[in-house]
Amino acid sequence: MLTSTRQPARLHYALSVAVGVMLAGIATAPVHAETIRERQWHLDAMHADEMWETTTGRGITVAVIDSGVDKNVADLRGQVLDGMDYSGLEGDEHADQAGHGTGMASLIAATGARSKVNGSHGLAPGTKILPIKMPYATGGFGTETSGRRYSESLIKAIRFAADSEAKVINVSMGSANTPGKRNVGTPELTAAVKYALGKGKLIFAAVGNSGDVTNAVEYPAATPGVVGVAGVDQKAKPLENSQFGPQVDLAAPGKDIVGACPEGTQICGGTGTSASSALASASAALLWSQHPDWTNNQVLRVLMQTASGNDKGLSRDDVVGYGVIRPRIALKTPGDPGPADKYPIPGFTYEDAKPSSSEPAKPSGPAGSSDQPTVAPAASNDDSSATGLWIAAGIGAAVVLCAAIAVPVLRNRRRLSASTAPAVPPQYGGQQLYYPHAPTPPQRHGLGQQPHTTAHNEHREHDGGSP
């Protein structure tokens, strides 16, 4: 296993090689030539072709808060709207220096337009992408100032998305508080989430990739009202590095996921909870497109009810939350969507949505209920394939892990004890793979790799089924 050296900023998606050359020049030999579509095992596991006969997500916009989205990537042409740039970097929200945001957008909305053989497809190719670009940290990220800067930019991004036409907000990144401070998971961040939910939005965020190291608690995934998404592999088993805890609400594929990127052959792949969050967002877009009269609460409730393991009622654990997301089952047998105005995750509260003395509060707009929500009965389904194993893909991967821990300050279901350790920067992860053409040296910014020895946490096996 390889990891990157610690960078000022990283994202929750470790890009690696499907077939070809890794970032550090380590080659893997293909067994046989496969098309990009064949490498996108998650689309087969989630029965994308079957779902696309019913819905492609048309009419839904997904805000991607990330490193930017390159609208000129062939598989995303015509899919990317004008958004907002809070990065301070050269260019605008369509300039993606890291390549990560483009990858996440492609997992949601890519059309395969590049070519029938070598184009990449998103799970919800009828959706549009609203890019909202976040800044990189500039070093010294363990300081109070840098953590606060990340949080302030994230707050602006969430509020911008809340005021936009987007219904779904995807955040495939995260950061932790500076030791002894509450400069990332702030009351203002919770207030921004509250504002977005009050505007009818649904927010998904990656829980992070240090589950086999320090299991850092990161924001916004740990912010009340955000759906924290963990990662699973081709057999619906938890990723070794996927973080766990009360902040995990759902899980989605995150192993050896192939999509588009800005450089070279414009095809990349990798492993991480970033991809899981993007696929959860795409799943919500598919369901919402099919049921445009539903509220954010109803869409989320049905995704929870139809997740693996909930055929006889809701159950959760700290590894996969309420289960592995199964949009096909949600579309086929949604069951009762339940109350329109009740947030479905038990224990949610707006207690932390009070401004701190360091910054005036912005108007928060209408809010969801702060009462203990009710949960509708789980939908039953008789789909015999719903509990089968996912299709294995045999794609090589190099996993980039972030090593840090946080001071978790959570409420109700997210209450954890505090600890003191280095802070986690926003997760901008490592980058390219080139497939299936001749290798092209990746143009990254200071990314290196070194061997890493990890401590392995024992996760209980989850009998999640095919979505």
Inside any domain, residue 361: yes
For residue 398, is pLDDT > 80?
A: no
Q: Of the residues 100, 121, 459, 462, which is catalytic?
A: 100
Tell me the average pLDDT across 368-373.
29
Q: What is the CATH number of the domain that holds 78?
A: 3.40.50.200
Q: What is the pLDDT of residues 20-34, one digit of tens each?
A: 222 222 223 344 468
For residue 361, is pLDDT > 80?
A: no
- pLDDT-derived band at 116 (thresholds 50, 70, 90) equals confident
- pLDDT-derived band at 104 (thresholds 50, 70, 90) equals very high
Can you give the pTM of this predicted structure? 0.75
Q: For residues 12 and 180, which has the higher predicted lDDT (pLDDT)?
A: 180
Q: Of the residues 4, 12, 66, 70, which is catalytic?
A: 66
Quote the CA–CA distance of 385 and 363 in Å, as a whole number.
47
Tell me the average pLDDT across 230-240.
97
Which pLDDT score, from 0 to 100, does residue 33 have?
Answer: 63
Inside any domain, residue 465: no
For residue 393, is pLDDT > 60?
A: no
Q: Which of 138-147, 221-230, 236-245 has the lowest mean pLDDT?
A: 138-147
Which pLDDT score, from 0 to 100, does residue 13 have?
Answer: 59
Q: What is the pLDDT of residues 152-190, one digit of tens each?
A: 999 999 999 999 999 999 999 998 887 788 888 999 999
Instruction: Tell me which residue range forms the domain holding 397.
Output: 1-457
- Catalytic residue flag (residue 370): no
Q: Of the residues 146, 164, 274, 283, which is catalytic?
A: 274
Inside any domain, residue 463: no
Inside any domain, residue 466: no
For residue 332, is pLDDT > 80?
A: yes
Quote the CA–CA distance of 289 and 197 in Å, as a whole number.
18
For residue 380, is pLDDT > 60?
A: no
Inside any domain, residue 423: yes
Inside any domain, residue 467: no
For residue 9, is pLDDT > 80?
A: no
Select the highest-mean-pLDDT range: 177-186, 213-222, 370-379. 213-222
Tell me the average pLDDT across 395-419.
29
For residue 331, is pLDDT > 60?
A: yes
- Catalytic residue flag (residue 233): no
- Catalytic residue flag (residue 66): yes
As for how many domains the chain has, the answer is 1
Inside any domain, residue 101: yes
Q: For residues 401 and 96, which has the higher predicted lDDT (pLDDT)?
A: 96
Inside any domain, residue 462: no
- pLDDT-derived band at 17 (thresholds 50, 70, 90) equals very low
Q: What is the pLDDT of residues 272-285, one digit of tens each?
A: 999 999 999 999 99
